[in-house]
Chains A and B, each alone.
Chain A
Amino acid sequence: MSDRRIEKLATGIEGLDTILEGGVLRGGIYIIQGTPGAGKTILGNQLCFNYAARGGRALYVTLLAETHGRMLAHIGSLGFFNEAAIPDGVSYLSAFRILETEGLKGLTDALRREIRARQINLLILDGLVSAEETAGTPREFKKFIHELQIQADLADCTMILLTSAAADQGFASAEHTMVDGLIELRSRLRDRRAERDLLVHKMRGGGFLRGVHSFQVTDQGISVQPRIEALLATPSLPTAADGPKLSTGVPMLDDMLGGGLHRHSSTLVMGAAGSGKSTIGHHFLGAQNEPGLYLSFDEDPSSIRFKAQSLNLPVAPLYDNGQVDILWQPSTEGVFDEICLRLLERVRSRGVKRVFIDGINDFVQMTGDQSRIGPALTALANEFRALGAVMVGTFELDFNGIVPGQPLTGLPILGLSPIAENIIVMRYAALGADIHRLIVTLKARDNAIRPEFRYYDIKAHGIEIDRDAVRASRILNELIRNGGNTAASLATAPFASDKPSGAGT
């Protein structure tokens, strides 16, 4: 039996092709709808130039839109633009006058002629709303779409119709039901930041990644990031559950974890600012001479290197010789999915074995949707496991300290527990004028552990943890004995329950 599947036409935009599982159908007809300024014109042009770069011929037809001179001046600085591809690879025509004088019939005739004469296989029609306005009745407009559909199929010419839409417009119009696919571009405000979303509402002839995906307009053009939890719903490789135990770089912490971290595991280090979470990360990345990656949202690479040098940590030369890479992404303007993909790309391309994320709070803040963070980070952690990379991430807590007799009260989990096989908590305990640091392993996958607080300090060579729980017990017992009579200056903070700071670490 012959294969009747229709061949796909890649858009040439990596993330979009991933979402569309290879692209759109050749000879299909699609609507890209979006509010003004959402990026439709750039996307339409980018599809044309990407196609021309592969040797194809594309035609961009405008109805009531900006002039071609203006449009080319606007897109001329974008990376995909190639003036040499015009007019043989990409040509521009205005068909508004034809629409005005000859109506929809004249427009379909003109498109048919141009497709044939220029041997076009990709056509962008910018300004579908003008055609709709020209149609006397909805039935006439449906006939127009239907005729285009037939033409697209017969001429093996993929057609993409760009149209504006109000932000609250639905997708149940006749043209939406008739076309092979419907993609929506949205621009929205989150707090004071503008963010762009891409949604595929419909795509005939195969699967696609559903849901809201991010996209940006960069100096290279439009870049699309598939929703990470959809993209990584199944890890790219089978996930191994075994493997040797790895050192955290702090021998006593390895001891508290029951011998170290499993190669295919994720670990969460929770603690307040100054508790030493980042220092644990430095130890972890320098524990072995293997490719590592430090994702930092706050500290810039020079500060990270300086800290490692100041503490004489083994990781310092690894930063210098590039064995451990630092990826700095200020959280102020970051896009969650884009950062996740960049992180994954680095891990894959460099064969990274140790990933340190400082910190998870910034990821939480960046998603703008608390319900996403659990599934998204679980998917990311699963992919790291599949790639054989062990991940340690920090989670910043408020300065609130230990409640006497209830040392774990108020620890926020926020759906983060499933992503981490191991959970380490670093807490302050205020006793009189002194603030002590205590550390406990609450969870360690497949390892026999005895959860107990240990006293630790940050010294000239990094984190130093007591061999036993003697000093920690003494501090905690003293806290219980003192009850609410601790030093007034710290009475409030140490006795309130923890809440996630929600801010960067």
Chain B
Amino acid sequence: MLTSFVRSGQKVILRIEDILNKVFSSEQNLLYYHGAMPNFCMWMLFLSGLLLFAYYTPTLEAAYQSVEYITNKLPYGDVIRGIHRYAADAMLLTVILHALRVYFTDRYREYRLIAWYSGVALSVFMLIIGVSGYILVWDERSFIIVTKITDFLGSLPFIGSSLASAFLNGEVISNYTMSMSFFLHTGTSFALLVLLWVHYMRISRPVVNVTWAIGSLISGIILLFAGLFPAISGPEAKFTVEPSYFDIDWFYLWLFPLIDAVGNIGAWLVLIAGITLVTLLPNFVRNHDKEPASVSKDHCVGCRLCSIDCPYEAIYMAPRNDGSKYKEIAVVIDDRCAECGLCVGACNFDAIELPNYKSPQVMDDIRIALQS
């Protein structure tokens, strides 16, 4: 059942892509840059965040005023703030698109496990960055978020109270809380880069850049939203007034309605179950028996073409000491091999073959077919 569900999802995606190819050509097909689009949004966030960083003050007294200063006084400050706000939404949307596409096109398991696991971790990090970003503004919403997160963390058995005081950076909300939120926001952002390095591991030549046209389109949409719906703060947070209501950003703040609905422990269970389920998705499908490419010592001339072409960095060249006149030999790392045969296509010497699709056999098949 799962397989047929995935297959029909794939058909839908392929039909959409076919239409996009006809409209935009395959060079400018948005769906062919599903991984590069979140990356583009991330760099927009880094750049706009850097500009905000220059004027932001992470203290209880000054935070709200500094954000107001950026928004109202600084030339184009409101634009930069709007870009930072909507690029975050765009990043989440494109990440969801990316995840759905790799899931439905069956490109998330076996030799792609590292990318899937690191992708889940990246998404969790994005949630932390998003929520902590809403604290920095220090309006009434920020105040509610801080109190709710403190309760949420504190509700965990054994480690709860330590986590809560680590988040508050003390026992009460103070300037140190703001420092911690600022750290969670920017520090975790830089951790994204490390995780991205893991995400790209074992992928030769990952597509990390969008085209100029797609980049302009995404920037244009973000700018349009920043202009039409400017990012503004609510009333400043005051310890004397307990706010009871705030606007929910369904991209990053969905955790709070969830807590209201099922309680702190319930929300923890939902969160942990959700992350576990997504992480374990590759385990719900049985992997086929591995039959990696194999190299023939007698035929390999050490030309390197297969190791260059391998899209999963599964082939490396090793020095050769067996008396052969060639200096190097290709070596296949079995676990990384996707059994795609790209190395076979690159080899002119019958030196690397898939056990199930040996190239002399394919050529025989061609001859037999044409003579029948």
Mutual binders A and B: no
